[in-house]
Structure 1
Amino acid sequence: MLNSFFQSTLGRPSLISPDDTWALLFVLVVSVALAIYLEQRYTWASKLSGAIIALIFALVLSNIGILPTNSTLYDDIIWGYAVPLGIPLLLLQCNMKKIWKETGRVMIVFLIGAVGTCLGALLAYQLLHDAVPEAAGVAAMMTGSYIGGGVNFAALATQFKVSGGTIGATTVADNLLMALYFFVLILFAGLKFFRSHYTHPHIDEVEKNGLGDSQTQAAAYWSRKDISLKDIALNLAYAVVIVFFSNLISMGIANVIPTDNAILKMCNTFFGSQYVWITTLSMIVATYGETQVQKLNGSQEIGTYFIYLFLFVIGVPASIYQIITQTPALLLFTAIMVIVNMLFCFIGGKLLHFDLEDCILASNANIGGPTTAAGMAISQGWSQLVGPIMLVGTFGYVIGTYLGVVIGGILGA
Structure 2
Amino acid sequence: MAPNVVAAGLAADNLMNALYFAGLFALARGVMPREEDNRRKSTSVSEEVDATPVEGEGAGEPFSVLNASYALAVAASVGYVTKLICAALNVRGMDIPIITLITVILATALPKRLGRLAGSGEALATLVMQAFFVAVGASGSIAHMIGTAPSLFFFSCLQVAIHVGFLLACARTFGFDRARALLASNACVGGPTTAAAMASAKNWRSLIVPAMLVGVLGYTIATFIAIAFGRAVLIKM
Q: TM-score range by the shorter chain?
A: 0.7 to 0.9
Q: Residue 192 of structure 2 contacts residue 212 of structure 2 at CA under 8 Å; is this kept in 1?
A: yes
In structure 1, C-alpha distance between the alignment counterparts of 2:19 and 2:95, rounded to whole Å:
33
> Helix, strand or coil for the counterpart of 2:139?
coil
Query: In the alignment, what sits opposite 1:293?
Result: 114
1:178 aligns with 2:17: yes
Please tell me the residue identity of whatever aligns with 1:329: S
In structure 1, C-alpha distance between the alignment counterparts of 2:131 and 2:217, rounded to whole Å:
22
1:403 aligns with 2:236: no
Query: In the alignment, what sits opposite 1:343?
Result: 165
Q: Residue 168 of structure 1 contacts residue 317 of structure 1 at CA under 8 Å; is this kept in 2?
A: yes
Please tell me the residue identity of whatever aligns with 1:284: I
Superposed CA RMSD in Å reads 3.2
In structure 2, C-alpha distance between the alignment counterparts of 1:224 and 1:274, rounded to whole Å:
27
CA-to-partner distance for each residue in 1:74-101, whole Å, 9 max, x for gaps?
A: xxxxxxxxxxxxxxxxxxxxxxxxxxxx
> Helix, strand or coil for the counterpart of 2:218?
helix
Q: Residue 361 of structure 1 contacts residue 389 of structure 1 at CA under 8 Å; is this kept in 2?
A: yes
Which of residues 180, 198, 210 in structure 2 aligns to 1:376? 198
Which of residues 316, 320, 333 in structure 1 aligns to 2:138? 316
In structure 1, C-alpha distance between the alignment counterparts of 2:25 and 2:36, rounded to whole Å:
11
1:245 aligns with 2:81: yes
Q: Residue 242 of structure 1 contacts residue 278 of structure 1 at CA under 8 Å; is this kept in 2?
A: yes
Please tell me the residue identity of whatever aligns with 1:381: N
CA-to-partner distance for each residue in 1:37-71, whole Å, 9 max, x for gaps?
A: xxxxxxxxxxxxxxxxxxxxxxxxxxxxxxxxxxx
Equivalent pairs counted in the alignment come to 223
Q: Following TM superposition, by how much is the alpha carbon of 1:317 offset from its aligned partner in structure 2, in angstroms?
A: 1.9
| Correspondence list, 1:182-201, <5 A | 182-190=21-29, 201=34
1:234 aligns with 2:70: yes
In structure 1, C-alpha distance between the alignment counterparts of 2:229 and 2:126, rounded to whole Å:
26
Q: Following TM superposition, by how much is the alpha carbon of 1:367 offset from its aligned partner in structure 2, in angstroms?
A: 1.2
> Helix, strand or coil for the counterpart of 2:63?
coil
Please tell me the residue identity of whatever aligns with 2:110: G
Q: Following TM superposition, by how much is the alpha carbon of 1:206 offset from its aligned partner in structure 2, in angstroms?
A: 10
Q: Following TM superposition, by how much is the alpha carbon of 1:371 offset from its aligned partner in structure 2, in angstroms?
A: 2.3
Q: Following TM superposition, by how much is the alpha carbon of 1:285 offset from its aligned partner in structure 2, in angstroms?
A: 0.9
In structure 1, C-alpha distance between the alignment counterparts of 2:171 and 2:153, rounded to whole Å:
27
CA-to-partner distance for each residue in 1:130-175, whole Å, 9 max, x for gaps?
A: xxxxxxxxxxxxxxxxxxxxxxxxxxxxxxxx33322222222222
Percent identical across equivalent pairs?
30
Q: 1:277 to 1:326 in 2, by over 3 A?
A: closer
Query: In the alignment, what sits opposite 1:330?
Result: 152
Please tell me the residue identity of whatever aligns with 1:250: C
Q: Residue 202 of structure 1 contacts residue 382 of structure 1 at CA under 8 Å; is this kept in 2?
A: no
Query: In the alignment, what sits opposite 1:80?
Result: none
Q: Residue 246 of structure 1 contacts residue 277 of structure 1 at CA under 8 Å; is this kept in 2?
A: yes
Q: 1:404 to 1:204 in 2, by over 3 A?
A: same
In structure 2, C-alpha distance between the alignment counterparts of 1:236 and 1:190, rounded to whole Å:
39
Q: Residue 168 of structure 1 contacts residue 318 of structure 1 at CA under 8 Å; is this kept in 2?
A: yes
1:394 aligns with 2:216: yes
In structure 2, C-alpha distance between the alignment counterparts of 1:331 and 1:206, rounded to whole Å:
42
| Correspondence list, 1:276-287, <5 A | 276-287=97-108
What TM-score comes out, normalization by structure 2 length? 0.79
Q: 1:332 to 1:206 in 2, by over 3 A?
A: farther
Please tell me the residue identity of whatever aligns with 2:89: I
In structure 2, C-alpha distance between the alignment counterparts of 1:314 and 1:345, rounded to whole Å:
29
Q: Residue 169 of structure 1 contacts residue 327 of structure 1 at CA under 8 Å; is this kept in 2?
A: yes
In structure 1, C-alpha distance between the alignment counterparts of 2:36 and 2:115, rounded to whole Å:
33
Q: Following TM superposition, by how much is the alpha carbon of 1:231 offset from its aligned partner in structure 2, in angstroms?
A: 1.0
1:363 aligns with 2:185: yes
Q: Residue 276 of structure 1 contacts residue 401 of structure 1 at CA under 8 Å; is this kept in 2?
A: yes
In structure 1, C-alpha distance between the alignment counterparts of 2:58 and 2:150, rounded to whole Å:
37
Larger RCO (alpha carbons 8 Å, 6+ apart): 1
Q: 1:222 to 1:328 in 2, by over 3 A?
A: farther
What TM-score comes out, normalization by structure 1 length? 0.48
Q: Residue 60 of structure 2 contacts residue 116 of structure 2 at CA under 8 Å; is this kept in 1?
A: no
In structure 1, the gaps of 5 or more residues are 1-161, 212-220, 255-267
CA-to-partner distance for each residue in 1:345-390, whole Å, 9 max, x for gaps?
A: 2233334431000111110111122222222222222222122112
CA-to-partner distance for each residue in 1:231-263, whole Å, 9 max, x for gaps?
A: 122111111111111111111111xxxxxxxxx
1:412 aligns with 2:210: no
Q: Residue 167 of structure 1 contacts residue 314 of structure 1 at CA under 8 Å; is this kept in 2?
A: no
Please tell me the residue identity of whatever aligns with 1:176: L
